[in-house]
A and B are shown apart, each in its own frame.
Chain A
Amino acid sequence: MTTTPAAAVSRGLPNPLARARARVRGWLQSRLPKSDTQLLTQNNIYILPTKAGWMFGVTLLVLLLASINYQLNLGYVLTFLLAGSGLVSMHVTHATLRGLTLHLRPPQQTHAGTAAALELVLTSPGTARFGIGLRALEADASTLVWTDVPAGGQAVVRVGWVPPSRGRHAVPTLSAETRFPLGLFRAWTVWRPESALLAWPALEPDPPPLPAARPIVGGPSSTRSSDGGEVEGVRAYRRGDPMKLIAWKKAAQALETGAELVSRDTSVSTRRELWVDWDAAAGLGVEERLSRLAAWTLAAERAGADFGLHLPGADVAPAGGEMQRRACLEAMALWRAP
């Protein structure tokens, strides 16, 4: 098994060897079964000496040579004690991973370009495990997240992974590794979870202000069940109402009497509708446009207004609240130019 991070790093190079390696690695990975739960056994744990391990070997050789040359029986004892410990450490390193169960919780959606936290649960049926590092296989070694697993218990680890683009992505191949206890060997496993992760479009960092809401052209309000009226009224809380709409004083009284939360009814005489509109972001590339729309969607939700999404070939009817935001972002994530 040669799926090392080094190979991943060198993949971008136009080196035929690197390409070949990447291909072999891809093929090897594609042979791994996909599963959200993986029991680590001898079949899927790999182990090789680390650089320090080789150095240790050289040190042992030097110690042995010195013992032979100076005829030091205690030198032999020291050398062989270290050799024995090194050998045992290999088994301990392997056993640190062996028998662990890795489980991936359903992944949370996120914006492309921002890290998604993949929640992994490590379960040890037997002894305590120390110094287990997890990361996405392709990620740099510095992104390792370390954890211990208590005896007979579980540990939860959040591994960050940045989806490169919007859309549905398979959760990347993950790897768990350990060098415990002596760092002379590195045992690792490669795991392909089955779950997929939906990445919303990236957010434009400094979007222009939200376009003004448009008055509804005729027809009754389709978004509010309340009657129109000058006076601001209250109504029962509906799921998805933004926090700022809640009439806290009234809500407190209502809660005391056992009733539900109370929201302000912001009906106005002239109903206006807010549209996050593909056409309003003209003049940009497709992804940049979607980024701006995504930023506007968040702004619209923050503003507490009802809003709809208009994309060529896909519209989301106006509504408010978090559900609406998710619906809009999902539509954008999956949108393809007609």
Chain B
Amino acid sequence: MSTVDALVSRGGIGRLLLGTRWPGWRALPRDARDTLFLLAVIAWTVLPHASHLPTWTIALVVAVLAWRGRVAVSGGALPGRWMLVGVLAVAIVLTLVTFRTLLGKEPGVTLAVALMALKTLELRARRDAFVVFFLGFFIILTHFLYSQSLLVAGAMLVSVWGLLTAVVLAHMPVGQPSLARAGALAARTAMLGAPVMALLFLLFPRIGPLWGVPQDGGSKTGLSNALRLGSLAEVATDDSIAMRIRFEGPAPAPSALYFRGPVLTRFDGTEWTPLALPFAANGVAPRPATVRSEGAPVRYELTLEPLRVASVPMLEATTSVTPTDGFAPSPRDDLQWLLPRPLNERVRFHAEAQTRFVLGSARRGAETYEARELPPGFNPRTVAWARALRDHAANRDGDAQAYAQLLLARIRSGGYSYTLAPGEYGRDAIDEFWLDRKEGFCEHYAAAFVVAMRAAGYPARIVTGYQGADPLSVDDYWIVRQSAAHAWAEFWQAGTGWIRADPTGAVAPDRINRSRRLAPPPGFVAGALDAMNPELLASWRNAWEAVNNRWNQWVLTYSRGQQLAVLRRLGFSSPSWEDLALLLTFSLSTLALAGATWAWFDRHRVDPWVRQLERIKRRLASLGVPVAPHDPPRALAAHVRERLGDDGEALALALDTLERQRYGRAARQRPDPGVDRIVEVQWRRLRSQAGR
């Protein structure tokens, strides 16, 4: 009913918009009502795209739908074909101008939406209606390219329901069937189809993309393969979830949760980039990292959002990852876990990590050479400052570790402050930051630290990734948000290996120890809610995220691995995708057979009234009462009275009762077993009499 109510209010808005006399929802002619309903469904389907479509598309859709609604209510003429072709051509040209291409996700969605709106102006034949429905289903799918959240799923479920209702309406040509009726029929069809859906979803073999999908720029990603000063600031304000982690056993302290992403060694003065992949250059397989670990390993499960980076941020220092769903990340010697292609889907990994470790070899390796390079001509003051610090009498024989401690001490006591909005830095950004303004966040500290180390001749590099997790776990899952993106440093200590140094921890220990992120100012509503009852907001958020997590774990991450796990639970010892296909075929055939059996059974089903009468007629015939196939109970009663006289009066009365129950004023819905019982008793009595 709520849909209908919503439609009524939409109609009210429509009247205000259109200025057409509104006859009232129930007084509308059928055609007009169905068209308005379809328009409302289309509007609802397109609505979530409003935020990422160009303005002209929104304007076009609103104008076309409003016009079509007006035509439906007032009964004007639809525009001619040439006009439609003209508008479509304009839409294509505008798409070209906006996106410079017609291929790809954004232009495709824009064109599909425009086409759908224009098609409503051409609803003449049944074929046109079907084109709208199929385009509608397609547009519903495009929403999932942007978000697969529960909210979007719910909204699109409503859309599918609306579209199916419109289809059903189109196939009820008689009279004026109510929307509720058609909606119920559509819902029934979909509900009955749900088992098939569940079966297909569970068992349809998941395969990788069939061909390369064009990647879209401008997507929000936490980590990229390059770092410029200021580039992480935007990420740090993004509160969306990057990954979820669950530990088998006690969780390590938040300060130990470093998720290692790209390791940036090359520095060209403005940008930090990783070393070229060794196997990309000469085809040599990557050397695995050498990790010397202490203590027991931590086993954990990581559910990664589609981050679109090939470098998987695994917990430091992850020593082994179980390949999942055809994803087998391989470790590089700098302990990055790399995938052969960027991650476009949600994946769950099981892995093992050592939180206390030393990385790399104790002897100077090739990677340490590049980790000492500084581009000439950049940040001269910092370089000079660092060399002066090294050459200071007290520090002259110090090793890298001692020097790093000096730097950290300087950060702690040198008047530095941590802020997400340090403002723009110029060409010699490190100079400016390190010596003058002293305001910045993790990437500034990490970069300045590395530059100073290198200036002093010690190998050092930047590591980017995530640090920390939400302080409260949601049903055992710890949430790592994009805002936990972090940059820290590593330096090489002769005789030991690479050692982590987090200069941010020196200036803002809270950021590391308690994973407290610097929050941007909250929005108005959130601010008001927060002021009234901070716990309430937090608990709502936690509950919502718990539901969302279930959704993610059960629906969105369902993939090859889980499929095979389901098969294993069903008793397959070593399931393969052939088993999946076989099981799917078997289940679908069973379903089809069940359907056919039902239809067959249905054919042999007889009206219970008829069955009862047949039963009684058989009894009467055995008593010698003449029975014709067309005799109603009344006629049978007459025959009984005629044949058996007073002896059969009770039987005749029962037949009269049956006649009333079947055809009388207070006719019953179903046959009365009481009549059967009376007939049975009388029949036994009469038969035994006849026998005597």
Closest to A125 in B: B607
Interface residues of A in 76-108 (CB under 8 A from B): 76-89, 91-92, 94-95, 98-99
Query: Which label, helix, strand, loop or mixed, suits the secondary structure of the A interface?
Result: helix
Interface string of A15-59 (1 = CB under 8 A from B): 000000000000000000000000001100000000110011001
Say which one of B74-82, B205-213, B251-259, B527-535 lies at the interface with A.
B205-213
The verdict on A89 contacting B189 (CB below 8 Å), with A74-B555, A147-B174 known, is yes
From A56, A73, A87, A148, contact of B556 by CB (8 A): A73
Given the complex, which residues of A lie within 8 Å of B127, measured CB to CB?
A: 51-52
**Which 4 A-B residue pairings sit nearest by Cβ, starting from the closest?**
A84-B193, A84-B196, A71-B345, A80-B200
| Docked-complex contact B194 and A81, CB < 8 angstroms | yes
B25 sits at the interface (CB 8 A): no
A314: Cβ under 8 A from any B Cβ: no
Tally of A-B residue pairs with Cβ under 8 A?
159
B201 touches A76 (CB 8 A): yes
**Interface check A316, CB cutoff 8 A:** no
Is B613's beta carbon under 8 Å from chain A? no
Report B135 CB to chain A, min CB distance, Å.
9
Cα(A181)–Cα(B213), bound, Å: 36
Interface string of B120-138 (1 = CB under 8 A from A): 0000001100100010011
Residue A130 at the chain B interface, CB threshold 8 Å: yes
Give Cα distance in the complex from A262 to B141, angstroms: 79
0 or 1 for each of B585-624: is its CB under 8 Å from A? (1 = yes): 0000000000100011011000100000000000000000
- Pick the residue among B148, B172, B186, B192 that contacts A148 (CB under 8 A): B172
**B415 contacts the other chain (CB 8 A):** no
Q: Is the Cβ of A148 less than 8 Å from the Cβ of B174? A: yes
Taking a contact as CB atoms under 8 Å apart, the answer to whether B194 and A42 are in contact is no
Cβ of B164 < 8 Å from any Cβ of A? yes
Contact residues, A152-188 vs B (CB, 8 A) = 179-183
What is the CA–CA distance of A53 and B5 in the complex, to the nearest angstrom? 32
Distance A73 CA – B602 CA, assembled complex (angstroms): 37
Beyond the given A63-B141, A85-B164, A181-B168, please list 4 additional residue pairs across the A-B interface where CB-CB is below 8 A: A62-B138, A84-B192, A131-B171, A181-B171
Could you say which of A62, A81, A94, A147 contacts B190, with CB atoms under 8 Å apart? A81
> Residue B185 at the A interface, CB < 8 A?
yes
Quick one: CB contact mask for B161-193 with A, threshold 8 Å, 1 for yes? 000100110111111010000000110011011
A201 to chain B, nearest CB (A): 36
CB-nearest residue of chain A to B592: A87
Residues of B within 8 A of A221 (CB): none
Chain B residues positioned under 8 Å from A74 (CB to CB): 144, 148, 152-153, 156, 555-556
Interfacial chain B residues near A79, Cβ < 8 Å: 141
Select which of A66, A95, A125, A130 is within 8 A of B599 by beta carbon: A95
Chain A residues, Cβ within 8 Å of B208: 68, 71
Question: Could you list some 11 contacts between A and B, CB below 8 A?
Answer: A51-B127, A59-B134, A74-B156, A78-B160, A80-B201, A81-B197, A88-B190, A88-B192, A92-B189, A148-B175, A183-B126
Within 8 Å of chain B (Cβ to Cβ): is A254? no
Q: Which of B145, B160, B192 contacts A82 (CB 8 A)?
A: B160
Contact status A42-B164, CB under 8 Å: no
Residue of B nearest to A71 (CB): B345
Q: How far is the CB of B212 from chain A (nearest CB, A)?
A: 9
